[in-house]
């Protein structure tokens, strides 16, 4: 294993892993094994573990450093970067995983970047949520700045939900590789208040930056504090110029309004999202679902049709179902309710191509066939 700079024996660039951890004994070994398939150096910065995290990390080939936790993820990650010696740095969390196909993607990226100094960073998909019916199917993902050139000196900012700003025109996307967030069941409960407390302190200290407001609102929403969340999302929307994130904020406003039993205000937020960016499908589907709930099938149909007509975006948060099976599934039901079972069957078959709820859709096929037969007999 080469740990300092360029590998003089091969002339190839050296890759380092940077990982921060605390009490992650159940998962850290697996992610280190994944990363060792394409990283030459494994750096773990422990922020105060009281379990076997450090010993397990050492056993899996990592170099261990210690950092006293100060409620600031950026500072901890920057320390982990400071201890890396490779030409390129990959960062991961202790409950992330990289499946074999994604490992191959990282290996091909490594070959692509070798010898290059024209790129400072690489955006790689981060798969965060998965289908309950089929846990191999991702339902929510977004790109993260995952691979960074060490000599570029890029730094993390933000106490929580930290980020690195990549220089304009010096980064690329690499969808062939990806990282999967695979926390253990129930692990969120042990950490559910941590981020909220960090952001609450930042807000009380006067931080009104768009990123802090956005993620503070998200934490409030996750804790069921919907009225407070809406206030913070509205504050965020007034100061942000990041379109895809504003779109997401409007979706969250709508969801909060719905949770508060205010469907018309929910619809207003979703329509505002469409006005902001009609190239994304999520808001079209949510407006369609609004009319679907009211059994106003004809009013719902155009919004689901619009959702089927847009391409999956390459920036921002993406709910994959909105760009695959979901609008086709809704359309099938709406069309059948409008007395158009043949079209309903056609759209249900489109949904079957990507859905994780295959049994329900397969069970619907005989129903649609019977409806079609009834119409033919009547005619």
pLDDT, tens digit (0-9, with 9 covering 90-100), for 152-211: 999 999 999 999 999 999 999 999 999 999 999 888 777 889 999 999 999 999 999 999
Q: Can you tell me the mean pLDDT for 254-272?
A: 98
Helix axes 226-239, 243-259, angle to 10 degrees: 160
Q: Can you tell me the mean pLDDT for 104-112?
A: 97
pLDDT recorded at residue 9: 54
- Tell me how far CA of residue 202 lies from CA of 125, 197, 209, in angstroms: 29, 9, 10
pLDDT recorded at residue 377: 87
pLDDT-based confidence at residue 10 (cuts at 50, 70, 90): low
pLDDT recorded at residue 188: 75
Identify the structural domains of the chain with CATH numbers, from first to last: 15-187 (3.90.550.10), 190-378 (1.25.40.10)
pLDDT recorded at residue 2: 36
Burial of 313 (0-12, 13-18, 19+ CB in 10 A): middle
pLDDT recorded at residue 307: 98
pLDDT recorded at residue 191: 80
pLDDT recorded at residue 5: 55
160-193 burial string, b = 16+ CB within 10 Å, else e? bbbebebeeeebbebebbbbbbbeeeeeeeeeee
| Average per-residue pLDDT for the chain | 94
Helix (H, G, I), strand (E, B) or coil at 74: helix
261-295 burial string, b = 16+ CB within 10 Å, else e? ebeebbbebbbbbbebbeebbbbbbbbbbbbbeee
Count of CB atoms within 10 A of residue 97's CB? 16
Beta strands in 135-216 (DSSP E): 138-149, 171-173, 179-181
Is 60 exceeded by the pLDDT of residue 113? yes
Q: Can you tell me the mean pLDDT for 248-266?
A: 98
Q: Can you tell me the mean pLDDT for 88-102?
A: 98
Three-point CA angle 75, 79, 85, nearest 5°: 150
Express each pLDDT in 305-347 by its tens digit.
999 999 999 899 999 999 999 999 999 999 999 999 999 999 9
Query: pTM of this prediction?
Result: 0.89
pLDDT-based confidence at residue 133 (cuts at 50, 70, 90): confident
pLDDT recorded at residue 3: 38
Q: Can you tell me the mean pLDDT for 6-30?
A: 87
Express each pLDDT in 221-242 by its tens digit.
999 999 999 999 999 999 999 9
Q: How many Å separate Cα 357 from the centre of its chain?
A: 21
Is 70 exceeded by the pLDDT of residue 135? yes
pLDDT recorded at residue 8: 53
pLDDT recorded at residue 7: 58
Asked whether the beta carbons of 304 and 322 are under 8 A apart, the reply is no
Whole-number CA gyration radius for the chain? 24
Is 60 exceeded by the pLDDT of residue 1? no
Is 90 exceeded by the pLDDT of residue 123? yes
Q: Can you tell me the mean pLDDT for 135-149?
A: 95
Strand partners, 145: 123
Is 70 exceeded by the pLDDT of residue 107? yes
Rounded Cα distance, 53 and 40, in Å = 20
133 against 5, higher pLDDT? 133
pLDDT recorded at residue 4: 46
Segments in the chain forming alpha helices (H)? 28-35, 53-59, 73-82, 100-113, 187-191, 194-204, 210-222, 226-239, 243-259, 263-276, 282-293, 297-308, 326-337, 341-352, 358-378
Q: Can you tell me the mean pLDDT for 16-36?
A: 98
Is 60 exceeded by the pLDDT of residue 126? yes
């Amino acid at each position: 294993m080469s740990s300092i700079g360029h590998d003089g024996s091969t002339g190839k660039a050296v890759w380092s892993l940077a990982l921060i951890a605390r009490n992650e004994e159940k998962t850290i070994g697996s992610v280190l094994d994944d990363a060792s398939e394409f990283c030459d150096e494994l750096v773990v910065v422990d922020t105060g573990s009281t379990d076997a995290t450090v010993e397990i990390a050492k056993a899996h080939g990592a170099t261990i450093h210690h950092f006293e936790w100060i409620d600031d993820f950026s500072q901890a990650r920057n320390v982990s970067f400071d201890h890396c010696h490779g030409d390129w740095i990959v960062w991961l969390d202790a409950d992330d995983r990289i499946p074999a196909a994604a490992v191959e993607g990282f290996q091909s990226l490594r070959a692509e970047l070798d010898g290059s100094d024209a790129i400072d960073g690489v955006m790689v998909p981060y798969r965060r949520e998965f289908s309950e019916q089929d846990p191999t199917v991702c339902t929510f993902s977004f790109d993260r700045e995952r691979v960074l050139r060490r000599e570029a000196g890029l730094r993390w900012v933000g106490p929580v939900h930290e980020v690195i700003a990549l220089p304009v025109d010096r980064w690329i996307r690499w969808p062939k590789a990806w990282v999967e967030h695979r926390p253990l069941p129930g692990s969120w409960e042990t950490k559910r208040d941590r981020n909220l407390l960090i952001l609450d302190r930042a807000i009380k200290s006067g931080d009104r930056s768009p990123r802090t407001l956005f993620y503070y609102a998200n934490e409030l929403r996750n804790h069921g504090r919907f009225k407070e969340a809406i206030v913070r999302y509205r504050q965020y929307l007034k100061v942000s110029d990041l379109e895809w994130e504003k779109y997401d904020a409007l979706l969250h406003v709508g969801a909060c309004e719905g949770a508060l039993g205010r469907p018309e205000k929910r619809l207003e937020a979703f329509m505002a999202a469409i006005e902001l960016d009609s190239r994304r499908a999520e808001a079209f589907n949510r407006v369609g679902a609004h009319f679907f709930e009211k059994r106003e099938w004809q009013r719902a149909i155009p919004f689901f049709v619009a959702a089927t007509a847009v391409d999956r975006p390459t920036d921002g948060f993406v709910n994959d179902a909105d760009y695959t099976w979901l609008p086709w599934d809704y359309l099938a039901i709406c069309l059948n309710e409008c007395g158009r079972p043949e079209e309903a069957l056609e759209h249900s078959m489109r949904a079957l191509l990507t859905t994780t709820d295959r049994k329900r859709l397969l069970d619907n096929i005989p129903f649609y066939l019977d409806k079609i037969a009834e119409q033919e007999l009547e005619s």
